[in-house]
Structure 1
Amino acid sequence: MSRLNDLTIGVRFAVTGGRETWVRTTLTAVGVALGVALLLAASALPNAVSTQSARGHARTLSAPMHSVPRSDTTLLYGHAESEYHGVAVDGYLLRPDGAHPITPPGVRTIPAPGTMLVSPALKDLLVSGDGKLLRERFPYRITGTIGDAGLSDPGELYFYAGSSTLTTHTGAHRIAHFGGGPLSAPMSSLLVVLTILGCVVLLAPVAIFIATAVRFGGDSRDRRLAALRLVGADIRMTRRVAAGEALAGSTLGLLLGWVFFLVGRQFIGGIQLWRMSAFPSDLSPVTPLAVLLSVAVPVSAVLVTLAAMRSVVMEPLGVTRQRVTRRRRLWWRLVMPVAGPAVLLGTGRVTGQAPAVDPYPIVIGALLVLVGLTTLLPWVVEAVVARISGGPVPFQLATRRLQLNSGSAARAVSGITIAVAGAVALQMYFVGLHDDFNKTTDQDPARAQMHIDATYPSGERAQQMITALRATKGVEAVLGTIETYADKPGGDADAAGPWPTTTITVGDCPTLHELAQLPSCRDGDTFVAHIKGHRKSNDWVDQTVRPGGKLNVSLDDEPVLWTLPKSSRTVVARTDPMGEKRDGILVTPSAISMAQLPEAETRALVKIDRSVPDASEYVRNTAARIDPVMRVWDITAVDRDQQYASVEKGLLAGSVATMALIAASMLIAQLEQLRERKRLLSVLVSFGTRRPTLGWSVLWQTALPVVIGLVLAVCGGLALGAALLRMVGKPVTDWWGFVPLAGTGGAVILLVTLLSLPPLWRLMRPDGLRTE
């Protein structure tokens, strides 16, 4: 019962102890609240990911394996995906078969022909000045918006448009329900390891910060508790009173953190980081994690305070701290940083084909390294500053202060140390996985930048497409080909083995020059293309037709014969801008009639003038006018895995949030330390110490532990990153990736120091000497 009374006294001190106590309690509460809010957001991520995935799966449309009979509820759809200024614009054209068609999630009725339903983000873009070019791509009247149930996130650009021309003959598919499409491919084991590591790296600094926040104002608290000894309190009672104060501050911070989280998530829909956002309803913390967090924060505050009080001796006439007479021991501080890589290296090899990944060794190993760095940091700071002497007056003031008490300085930079160490390890791991998730495509963006493919065969549409693209603003050249399959006449469907078949590619001379090494070319020429070194495929082409022979160019039951001119020359195929080599028959336009190729398909490789702003958008607008569901891709030299890119974006967004928290925590800690030194600063100024001298001393006092912490963080991060790469069987390819990360950490410290200068000037006023 007496222990409970002691805790109650501590709580009363925290809330009724006057202005100084209120300031300290408020600093503690705000610090804890920031950490709790971020941890609650992290605990809500599993729900956010699962709900977004469920909404995306519920609206999925995929071509059915078997034909769907027409009914009153079925509809036809065509996928009309696009891109605008690098952002995906996705949607579908819909045409109902009857009066009661099925509807996608978030939509009540199918839009009528010539109208469309859009996401709120797409509507805002279309009505804005930035969406002028995009509006030309959508000749539909907006009649409504898609509800949240039909969108993956608030910033998604999505639409449904009504069509009166969709048919199964023009590439449309009939469906009887939405959803049920193929699920996304399971994540690679290498990316699972990356995700686990990212969670540890982003959340560990938050936990360290919360543990640091509950110790704000420790010096003034200890002096006040020493006064309790004068009225008969023993050591155990004072420790329990201190724990009660920490309990009050952390509980208030916990409640304030919930408020920050609940209020902040109402505005999350309007925030995008790396094109990622979420609906407020998506951010629902997982109940067990939220309960665990709510219990762990106040309990941890009490335990941390009791542990810190063990190194403080409070006598009735003052406070004695164990600093000089008892130096910090090193051996036990080395156990965790050494054990962490050992745990990772002792884990079995993880490969991309591994069926599952055990997360516990990865979490334990990474935490041992990162938390071990925070236990090692105070010893390193103490050992380094103890050997420093001399220098300018501001430097001496800073080093002397650190020599007297380096613990609070080490705690203040522990968050940035662990964050930089984790970032270094993540960077090494990212670089090590680069080649696994960024594949060379063999495409040549220098020869063409866009690839366009018609959605259904039509010789007439093919010629229209090539002509329209060449007249488009910003287009330098179009390598347009009209392609169809042709086989040897007289084929027997019952004959054993495949019947000789090849392709006919129609294009003008500049286009054919990109496809083969032509000695010369003029309209009316024809060629037989072979691929150098591919004897088997070349023989297959020759078996299908020889110059002077006939080819069946129709895929229907009724054959359409065409004679390959005897003047056709054999040429060697060359790699086109898509990285492909095409064999078969190459034909210039006047050598064959498009009427003979009713089933021809069109491919166009477009070279744009990069000096023309938005040239690629003009090309997409032209393609949409010809056929809204025409497929348009950018030609890239590197194909980036989408899951890898998503994980990277998520980690970047989390890094921003964590770094912002660390900056806020360091600013609060800095202000708290300055407030503790208010009287000392006023005394120094009253004795003639120049204010710039004190300002530089504060900068040095912050910079020295930071530099030491960054060096320790780089060493620990490199060790952790190397162990992780060894675990997944990848070599270390970049030992210097820490340079920009360390620079970012230094920039955060400089920013915090600059923000703390105005309060420093105010604290150096003579009225700081006044006491009661």
Structure 2
Amino acid sequence: MSGYDAGGRTGRCATWVRDLAIGIRFAAGGGREGWVRTALTAVGVGLGVALLLGAASVPHVLDRWKTRTEATTPVRASSTAKPTARTLLLGYAETSFRGATVGGVLLHPDGPAAPRPPGVAALPRPGEMVVSPALKELLGSAEGRLLRERLPYRTVGTIGEPGLAGPGELAYYAGSASLTAGDNAFRVTGFGQGSEDAEDRPMDPKLVLLVVVACVVLLMPVAIFIATAVRFGGERRDRRLAALRLVGADVRMTRRMAAGEALFGSVCGLVVGGALFLAARPLAGRVTLWGVNAFPGDVTPVRGPALLVLATVPVLSVTVTLVALRRVTIEPLGVVRDSAGRRRRLWWRLPLPAAGAALMLLSGGQRADGAVLHTDWIAGGAVLFLVGITVLLPWLVEAVVGRFKGGPVAWQLATRRLQLSSGAAARAVSGITVAVAGAIALQVFFAAVQSDFMKVTGQDSGRAQLDVELPAGDAAATGKTIARFRATEGVRGVIAGVNGSVSARPVPGRDSEEPLPTGEVTVGDCATLRELARIGSCAEGDVFVVRDGGMVHDRYLSALAKIARPGARVLLNREPGSGEMPARPRWWTVPESARVVPSRPDPMGTTHFGIFATARALDPAALADPHAYAMIRIDARVPDAEEYVRNTAARIDPALRVRSLRDVAPDRQFADVRTGLLIASAATLALIAASMLVTTVEQLRERRRPLSVLVAFGTRRGTLGWSVLWGTAVPVGLGLALSVAGGTGLGLVLLRMVGKSGFAWSAVWPPTAAGAALVLVVTLLSLPPLWRLMRPDGLRTE
């Protein structure tokens, strides 16, 4: 019995192999018509395979990016380490140019054996720099004129690939003779320690949920299009299979032969997809989306996912073909598909999205904010939900177009075509339907949770846009520095001041646990002081006492009150933290006329209190250890005003940091996920556009003879053109309506999972409008092939 079973299985396998081989021969030897059909299938499958291989490369790209980033991180020596022949002083001089970050590092070797950063052949000397290829190209272009003024170094080399996170990175290493160990520089013993942020904090469960659903949303349209592409030329194929039935082939044999044709097309699609992937790979370094790019060598598919793609696509092509032919009765004298068949049932389609939603809710429910989610349940539920939308679309198209009657000739031609083959029309727009539904759900989720990942900085970018920390060792030099900023093109105003500390006379025998009677003093002009406190009227020579009880401990306030009060005698030149009296103390008396005023947060969100004085009342040079700052208001009407300010700062000191003020700052993980989704969405939309164009061309090719017949009988070309447009618009409109309903439902499920209740309807319309615009563009691009197919030679047959 076992031998019989084995023989039976062997016989069935041999039958399958034989019939599949016959189908492959039909696809490969079917003449020009067969090769055109195979080429369309191969292109359609190839587009999807190329994107899937790109998706399989993402882990390797991220791993290589992390490795390079860690390799360039300096290894700090201890704060007490002495300079040796193997150490190096390093200071950061990062800047920004028109929104792009330019990573700058200043280097000063302590000896001949000082370590070199990765990708740097030799350390630059003072006045020299080595730059990344992207920065070298920018500096050599007309666009980089302002940046060249900011980097007064001579370029002596380029940074190699090991020292860059990506080919588009803007970075440089410059030699410095004036670099000294301090706040802006430190001593290093090598490179490759890993980032200081290497301790990756666990990803927020909301972001986990977002990433999982986004992967499903982005890859589902690809799978749907591949399944659609393997069915190209289905009607012509069915007529050939009817001829095979006429010469004696049974139903199962014809289905296996059809599967062989689809298998050949999908294998050709794998080859085309691999070729497209290899052709697009070198472009990875030239294309930058939202500040992200990669070296071509890094875009390498991970072996497991790549093998899964190569194995799944042929199996999918055979499975889809066999399932599709179950609804087609192929007889020796014709195909029953061309007549009205059994109406599609709704009862088994509706439970699919409901089951998907239930599975997602069971994966974590409202515990998603703080519990570990079952990602496999989430992914399975999202797939089931989107599959439910996909299978609902053919029923919806059939149910709606079946009620269309009458109308203009173009409308009747379109609706009659849809009534005869609504399944083909639904398949053509199923990818865009799923993509738009998923995009709506993600946008709704983004809108609901983004406030959780936005940190309110307390800064007020309406009062100032840039912040600069100034060297304040010399009061006269500080004044000149501030004057240079005020004279910079595009600057409307500068809020600048000098901070220092003042204290009372040390009391012998004072309890060491008692707070030191030390306070803050701020020196600036009246305009600056108005930004820091509510001083009212002000003139040069005025002094103010600023108090804010909500910002400090009451115990500290009681000590501060001994200093920050009218008539107090304070010591100006005692070093902070020192209990000793300076050899030559400088005393200053707070005028009795000083007014007590409330504080006001500055544009950086910092609240100042203590003694405020104008420069005529108190010379900043008298302060010990002063700290200067400038907050700059720029004129938005002046192009590159921010760049002019940064150039001024670089001329003052290359290590001077200019920071932009932001009212809110996004969480880093949230920003990374958002950037990744934008890049992936752009790639998916490009695939959908290309796939829809291929699908439309294939459908028009199928209708070449009917179109030629209509033209031969006198039908106007404009009428046929409008019929094609209506034939596309109707299923697209129904698909987008289903997308809005499905995307809204999926969005509500996601919100329920994270305990959110607000629904942003404004997030629904942009993806819908983008989908409609995409379809419009594809339809317009399909018109030239339509005009060519209307020629009389379309009546020819072989």
Q: Shorter chain as normaliser: what TM range?
A: over 0.9
Amino acid of the residue matched to residue 682 of structure 2?
Answer: V
In the aligned structure 1, how far is the partner of 2:737 from the partner of 2:405?
21
Q: State the match for 1:566 in structure 2.
A: 591
Q: 309-318 or 457-466, which moves further after superposition?
A: 457-466
User: 1:748 is aligned with what amino acid?
Assistant: L
Aligned match for 1:548, one of 556, 560, 568: 568
1:137-162 CA distances to partner (integer Å, 9 max, x unpaired)?
10100111111111111111111111
Matches within 5 A, 1:336-415: 336-349=352-365, 354=370, 356-415=372-431
1:483 matches 2:499: yes
The one-letter code sitting in structure 2 at the alignment partner of 1:541 is L
Q: 1:457 to 1:237 in 2, by over 3 A?
A: farther
Map of 1:715 onto structure 2: 741
CA drift at 1:485: 3.0
Greater shift, 63-72 or 454-463, is seen at 454-463
Counterpart CA distance in 2 for 1:638 and 1:231 is 74
Change (3 A) 1:63 1:353: farther
Quick check: 1:665 aligned with 2:685? no
Residues in 1 aligned to 2:633 and 2:112: alpha-carbon distance in whole angstroms: 45
Tell me if the contact between 2:562 and 2:568 (Cα under 8 Å) persists in the aligned partners.
Answer: no
Moved more, 735-744 or 123-132: 735-744
1:169 Cα deviation after fit: 4.2
Q: Which amino acid aligns with 1:653?
A: I
The superposition leaves residues 204-259 of structure 1 with CA deviations (integer Å, 9 ceiling, x where unpaired) of 10011001100000011111111111221111111111111111000010111111
Distance 2:474 2:117 in 1: 31
Partner Cα separation in structure 1 for residue 248 and residue 560 of structure 2? 104
Whether the aligned pair in 2 keeps the contact of 1:114 and 1:161 (CA below 8 Å) is: yes
Structure 1 position 698, deviation (Å):
0.7
1: distance between equivalents of 2:641 and 2:41? 55
Q: How does 1:673-692 map to 2 (within 5 A)?
A: 673-692=699-718
Is 1:529 matched with 2:546? yes
Task: Return the offset for 1:538.
Answer: 4.2
Secondary structure of the structure 2 residue equivalent to 1:312:
coil
> What is the match of residue 679 of structure 2?
653
Residue 166 in 1 paired to residue 179 in 2?
Answer: yes
Q: Higher mean Cα deviation, 607-616 or 538-547?
A: 538-547
Question: SS of the counterpart of 2:605?
Answer: coil
- Displacement after TM superposition at 1:176 (Å): 1.4
Q: Is 1:268 equivalent to 2:284 in the alignment? A: yes
Q: CA deviation at 1:503?
A: 1.4
Residues 116 and 159 of structure 1 are in contact (CA less than 8 Å); yes or no, is this contact kept in structure 2?
Answer: yes
Residue 446 (structure 2) aligns with: 430
Alignment correspondent of 1:78:
91
Which amino acid letter does the alignment assign opposite residue 436 of structure 2? Answer: V
Aligned residue identity for 1:180: G
Secondary structure of the residue that 1:495 maps to in structure 2? Answer: coil
**Residue matched to 2:751:** 725
487-496 vs 645-654, greater mean Cα deviation: 487-496
- Residue 441 in structure 1 maps to residue 457 in structure 2: yes
Residue in 2 that maps onto 1:590: 616
**CA distance in structure 1 between the aligned counterparts of 2:77 and 2:204, rounded to whole angstroms:** 27
Distance 1:355 1:103, change over 3 A: farther
Answer yes or no: is 1:142 the counterpart of 2:166.
no
Contact 1:60 1:180 in 2 (8 A): yes
Instruction: Give the match's secondary structure for 2:562.
Output: helix
Instruction: Give structure 2 stretches of 5+ with no counterpart.
Output: 1-13
1:506/1:586 contact within 8 Å kept: yes
Question: Which residue, 262, 267, 274 being the options, matches 1:258?
Answer: 274
Give the match for residue 99 of structure 1. 112
Cα deviations across residues 26-58 of structure 1 (Å, max 9, x unaligned)?
000000000000000001011111211221122
Deviations 1:166-197, CA, capped at 9 Å, x for gaps: 11246321121223331254332222222222
Q: Is the contact between residue 532 and residue 573 of structure 1 (CA under 8 Å) also seen in structure 2?
A: no
Partner AA of 2:611 in structure 1: I
Other structure's SS at 1:321 match: helix
**Structure 1 stretches lacking a partner, 5+ long:** none
Query: Once structures 1 and 2 are overlaid, which stretch shifts more, 475-484 or 734-743?
Result: 734-743
Please state how far the C-alpha of 1:115 moved relative to its aligned partner: 0.4
Summarize the Cα distance change of 1:180–1:2 in structure 2 as closer, same or farther, 3 Å threshold.
closer
Aligned: 1:579 with 2:596: no
Moved more, 211-220 or 263-272: 263-272
Question: CA separation in 2, counterparts of 1:709 and 1:516?
Answer: 59
| AA aligned opposite 1:380 | L
Partner of 1:504: 521
**Of 686-695 and 443-452, the range deviating more from structure 2:** 443-452
Task: Determine what percentage of the aligned residue pairs are the same residue.
Answer: 53
8 Å CA contact 1:459, 1:598 repeated in 2: no
**Does residue 128 of structure 1 match 2:141?**
yes
CA distance in structure 2 between the aligned counterparts of 1:49 and 1:461, rounded to whole angstroms = 47
1:453 Cα deviation from its structure 2 partner? 1.4
With 583-592 and 667-676 compared, the bigger mean Cα shift is at 583-592
Superposition map of 1:27-46 within 5 A: 27-46=40-59
> How many aligned residue pairs are there?
772
Paired residues of 2:363 and 2:373 also in contact (CA < 8 A): no
Q: Which residue of 1 aligns with 2:312?
A: 296
**1:10, 1:244 within 8 Å by CA — same for their partners in 2?**
yes
How much has 1:493 moved relative to structure 2? 9.3
**For 2:326, which of 310, 320, 324 is the aligned residue?**
310
Moved more, 711-720 or 504-513: 504-513
Q: Which amino acid aligns with 1:300?
A: L
Any idea what the Cα deviations from partners look like across 1:50-73, whole Å, max 9, x if unmatched?
A: 211221122124866643332111
Q: C-alpha distance in 2, partners of 1:350/1:143? A: 58
In the alignment, residue 154 of structure 1 is paired with which amino acid? Answer: P
What displacement does 1:328 show? 1.3
1:407 & 1:208 partners in 2: Cα distance? Answer: 14
Equivalent residue, structure 2, for 1:19: 32
- Give the CA deviation at 1:264: 0.9
What letter corresponds to residue 195 of structure 2 in structure 1?
G
1:564 is displaced (CA, Å) by 3.1
Q: Would the aligned equivalents of 1:72 and 1:101 in 2 still touch at CA under 8 Å?
A: yes
Q: Which moved more, 1:565-574 or 1:37-46?
A: 565-574
Distance (whole Å) between structure 1 residues aligned to residue 213 and residue 383 of structure 2? 9
Distance in 1 (CA, whole Å) between partners of 2:740 and 2:390 is 13
Residues 534 and 48 of structure 1, relative CA distance in 2, 3 Å threshold: closer
Partner of 2:9: none
1:287 aligns with 2:306: no
Cα distance between partner residues in 1 of 2:163 and 2:782 = 47
Partner of 2:249: 233
Secondary structure of the structure 2 residue equivalent to 1:498: coil
CA 252–526 in structure 1, closer or farther in 2 if over 3 Å, else same = same
Q: Is residue 89 of structure 1 aligned with residue 102 of structure 2?
A: yes
Query: Equivalents in 2 of 1:74, 1:121: separation in Å?
Result: 29
- Per-residue CA deviation, residues 402-451 of structure 1 (Å, 9 max, x unaligned), is 11111111000000000000010011011001211223333222221111
- CA distance, structure 1, for counterparts of residue 763 and residue 24 of structure 2: 47
Could you report, residue by residue, the CA deviation over 1:353-400 in whole angstroms, capped at 9, with x for unpaired residues? 637443212211211111111111111111111111121111111111
- Any conservation in 1 of the 2:524–2:615 contact (CA below 8 Å)? yes
Equivalent position to 1:602, from 628, 651, 662: 628
CA contact (8 A) 2:125 2:176 kept: yes
More divergent stretch after superposition (61-70 vs 271-280): 61-70
Give the letter aligned to residue 181 of structure 1: S
State the Cα RMSD in Å: 2.1
Match of 2:639 among 588, 598, 613: 613
